[in-house]
A and B are shown apart, each in its own frame.
Chain A
Amino acid sequence: MTEKPKIGVYVCHCGINIASTVDVEEIARYAEEIPGVVVSKTYPYVCSDPGQVLIREDIENQGLNRIVVASCSPRMHEPTFRKTLKEAGLNPYYLEMANIREQCSWVHSDSEEATGKAKKMVAGAVAKARLLEPLEEKEVEAEPSALVIGAGIAGIQAALDIADAGFQVYLVEQTPSVGGRMAQLDKTFPTLDCSACILTPKMVDVASHPNIELMTYAEVEEINGFIGNFDVKVRKKARYVDVDKCTGCGDCAKECRVQRVPSEYNAGVGNRAAVYLPFPQAVPAKFTIDPEKCLYLTKGKCGKSPKCEEVCQAGAINFEQEDEIVEFRAGTIIVATGFDIFDASRRPELGYQDYDNVINALEMERLVSASGPTEGKLLIGKGEDQKEPKDIAFIKCVGSRDETVGNEYCSRVCCMYTAKLAHLVKEKIPDARVTIYYMDVRAFGKGFEEFYDRVRREGVRYVRGNPSEIYQQGDKLVVKVEDTLTATPREDEMDLVVLAVGLEPRLETKQITDLLRLSQSSDQFLMEAHPKLRPVDTSSDGVFLAGCCQGPKDIPDTVAQAKGAASSALMPLSKGMVKVEAQVSEVDESICRGCGYCVEVCPYGAIELEEVNQMGHMVQVAKVNEALCKGCGACVAACFSGAVQAKSFRDRQILPQIAVLGGLKDE
């Protein structure tokens, strides 16, 4: 090392967050005695502007060349303090942090022990800081395009925003149409906007936007690379319909020999044919043959010849069609994969599986919708016995706030969609008696409380209690419940029971986390980088979250988050450059023996063997491609000779830390 380390230690009070448990003054006095430390101070909030000025001035006036900040987690403020160093003209990698908040003051209550531990942590950080090295931050060009996965309202909004900003968007949707869950809804709370009316214009926009390449009935198969340059492979599944020829007339579906496939769009309440358009306003308005239901595709035979092929005047049916693989490069990625509804059969006492007239809220949504199978008429029973239900019950928190089914969280939308559905029932059947069984009513959003009041004024009865059982008696369903406000057991007779099911992470969430190296929260939704301050970011740079894949939320929140994700995804695109990891591996050629173990363990193919001339001998040595290296350090641990080292995490930077934490007395 050329220069003698002159270390500055800054111990943060963090108000009382640290100072109430850890004796910060004592830490500063202790640090002052460590060889190499020239300045040791405490400050109420080191991350604040005056706190940073303090560090900058000391660097400039006292010639500090290493900085140790003992405060919160480096995951929180490392970037902040790196910037401080940079502003003072010091290399930003001359910083080491001691995490005395998250991993000390907040988790230990004994002041003496916590202070003792914090001392060691600070000493460890100083030991490492002495041996830090300056690193260079490099930039590479970013591909000016984004991938958006999922074309519900979140994906649609994010794609439109990025495309409107002038960048290419690849929008990938796994079903045959864009629209997602929002397309299934009838009205939206609390304004009673018609869901389709506000959504369909946006659906048409994404299909016609010159900057958006829409891929429906497609799945992302592979993603490699990093922020700025993700290599994406998408499988466009065979529709067995030539989309360029299909006019969307629907003759094929009318004539199809398989007509009784439960319609996904209608939540299974209605049927569709094996060749289908998910719903009338679907975008693109192109038919798709369901390969699992089509007779010709499953059995190889459909009458004399497939009816669809016979009637299609455009000649669009093509049973020879194969999946198509599309490959492209994207600078950033937005995940907007949405949610699944809770499967009500996991609460067997509520009879969802046993009784036809116990339905879930999404089925109810389709029943009251004008575009639904009953054209908006709310009817129960079959054939001649069909009639309007008069006594209708809604049961809230089915699959939410319920540890027994593994979902501790509130799904946030059920209170209001229940109120909305109750309102729609009263609109269609004014003399209906509607009862809502609830645990709590959470009407927290803009206009929510007003809407809840309105629904109650309309005569909807709210009963506080969580029903324990639903059973049939004659042609009625009986809801057994205790009214917990009056402590009265009740057995209420109903014609129709609607279960207000909660929102759950999609089954495919695991595929997404594997594809993109994302984490899941304890509720299994995708995890954001920081719950408060980085709500659309993920732990993978350049990958952002929008909508219900991150947690239950209503449409306005989803749109807001999608716009946030779009703006975050746009930053690297509009800048055109992204930083590459500076803390990468490096090979000391003079001691590398050229065994190639590092080459084998590198998950990114960032190391290659190369022939070099050493004292007249041609020998093989490892060489790191810094643009590909992510700094994980797998190669370092694999290296026998210690020739490969990870910058900022070198053996000689970690071992002194171990020695300090081990804490033997220097003899």
Chain B
Amino acid sequence: MSDNFEPNIVAFLCNWCSYAGADLAGTSRIQYPYNIKTIRVMCTGRVNPLYVLNALQQGADGVLVSGCHPGDCHYMEGNMYARRRLGLLKDMLEFVGVDPRRFQMSWVSASEPHKWKEVVEKLVGETRELGPFEQFQRNMINW
């Protein structure tokens, strides 16, 4: 692992809370690491666990799923489904030898830009320490 390794993070954000929170971080000019690239979904309940694996296969060193706080879901309970499904996935990743810090979940509301920064900094920092993730990598799928 080279000293200047910079991790590549793919994040799935729900439209109503975390994506809006990340937007507010922008409006407030709160600086955070550039390593994170976001994909907007309507709800974290939409995030198929396979997306997380797919991101790791396609070259991500870390993955984040972030949504509304439990109980605040725009669609009532989508984030609860996400918590169940992705919690299981996290356990399974650990079981097959993937450091669980590579896949994180967070609840960031539309009014928490500072929390968004903290979440990103933590994930980027931890993945940087863990180094590149190549166990799952496959060839790029040409869709």
Contacts and interface: CB of A to CB of B under 8 A. Distances in A.
Interface string A95-116: 0000101111011111001101
Contacts of A539: 16, 20, 74, 110
Interface in A611-667: 630-634, 636-638, 646, 649, 651-652, 654-659, 661-667
Contacts of A664: 58-59, 137-140
B54 A658 contact: yes
Contacts of A520: 109, 111
Contact of A121 (B29, B37, B51): B37
Contact of B37 (A101, A120, A517, A633): A120
Contacts, number: 174
Nearest to B14: A632
A637 B47 contact: yes
B34 A113 contact: yes
Given A603-B76, A603-B78, A633-B46, A107 B30 contact: yes
Contacts of B22: 102-103
B31 interface: yes
Given A124-B37, A655-B141, A661-B60, A519 B43 contact: no
B23 A73 contact: yes
Contact of B57 (A113, A601, A662): A662
A74 interface: yes
Interface string B24-68: 011101111010011111110111110100110111100000000
Interface in B90-143: 109-112, 137-143
> Which among A102, A521, A637 has the greatest number of chain B C-beta atoms within 10 A?
A637
Contacts of A667: 139-140
Give the residue among B16, B31, B40, B54 with the most A Cβ atoms within 10 A: B40
A382 interface: no
Given A124-B39, A654-B51, A517 B46 contact: no
Contacts of A631: 42
Contacts of B110: 519, 527, 539
A208 interface: no
Contacts of A632: 42-43, 45-46, 74-75, 78
Which 10 interchain pairs have the tightest Cβ spacing?
A662-B58, A633-B46, A102-B26, A662-B59, A656-B143, A632-B75, A634-B45, A106-B26, A664-B59, A664-B140
Contact of A662 (B60, B109, B142): B60
Contact of A663 (B8, B30, B43, B75): B8
A374 interface: no
Contact of A638 (B55, B76, B81): B81
Contacts of B140: 659, 662, 664-667
Given A117-B34, A659-B140, A666-B140, 10 more contacts: A73-B19, A102-B25, A103-B26, A107-B31, A517-B76, A539-B110, A603-B76, A637-B81, A661-B8, A666-B142
9 contacts: A124-B39, A603-B78, A634-B43, A655-B51, A659-B140, A662-B10, A662-B57, A662-B60, A664-B137
Contact of A637 (B26, B73, B85): B85
Nearest to A117: B34
A507 B49 CA distance: 38
Given A103-B26, A519-B109, A662-B140, A75 B15 contact: yes
A264 interface: no
Contacts of B40: 74, 99
Contact of A519 (B72, B76, B85, B137): B72
Nearest to B19: A75
A394 B11 CA distance: 52
Contacts of A522: 111-112
A583 B25 CA distance: 27
A108 B142 contact: no
B10 A661 contact: yes
A514 B46 contact: no
Interface of B: 8, 10, 15-17, 19-20, 22-23, 25-27, 29-32, 34, 37-43, 45-49, 51, 54-55, 57-60, 71-78, 81-82, 85, 109-112, 137-143
A462 to B, nearest CB: 34
A99 B13 CA distance: 13
Contact of B23 (A75, A519, A654): A75
Nearest to A539: B16
Nearest to A631: B42
B10 A634 contact: no
Contacts of A76: 23
A107 B111 contact: no
B76 to A, nearest CB: 4
A657 B72 contact: no
A655 B111 contact: no
Interface in A492-530: 513-514, 517, 519-522, 527
B76 A131 contact: no
A539 B49 CA distance: 27
A661 B37 CA distance: 7
Contacts of B48: 636-637, 651
A652 B143 contact: yes
A666 B38 CA distance: 21
A127 interface: yes
Contact of A661 (B16, B29, B55, B111): B55
B5 to A, nearest CB: 14
Contacts of A646: 42, 46
B91 to A, nearest CB: 18
A654 B41 contact: yes
Given A103-B23, A522-B111, A661-B10, A654 B39 contact: yes
Contacts of A521: 111
A659 B141 contact: yes
Contact of B72 (A513, A649, A656, A663): A513
B41 A633 contact: yes
A611 to B, nearest CB: 27
A637 B84 CA distance: 12
Interface string A106-143: 11111001101100110010010001000000000000
Given A519-B72, A662-B10, A655 B143 contact: yes
- Among A646, A652, A655, the one with the most B-chain Cβ atoms within 10 Å of its Cβ is A655
The residue among A124, A583, A633 with the most chain B CB atoms within 10 A of its own CB is A633
Interface string A71-109: 001111000000000000000000000010111101111
A655 B74 contact: no
B54 A655 contact: yes
Contacts of A658: 10, 39, 51, 54-55, 58, 60
Contacts of A120: 37
Contacts of B58: 658-659, 661-664
Contacts of A102: 22-23, 25-27
Nearest to B112: A522
Nearest to B137: A664
B29 to A, nearest CB: 6
B113 to A, nearest CB: 9
Nearest to B68: A519
Nearest to A642: B48
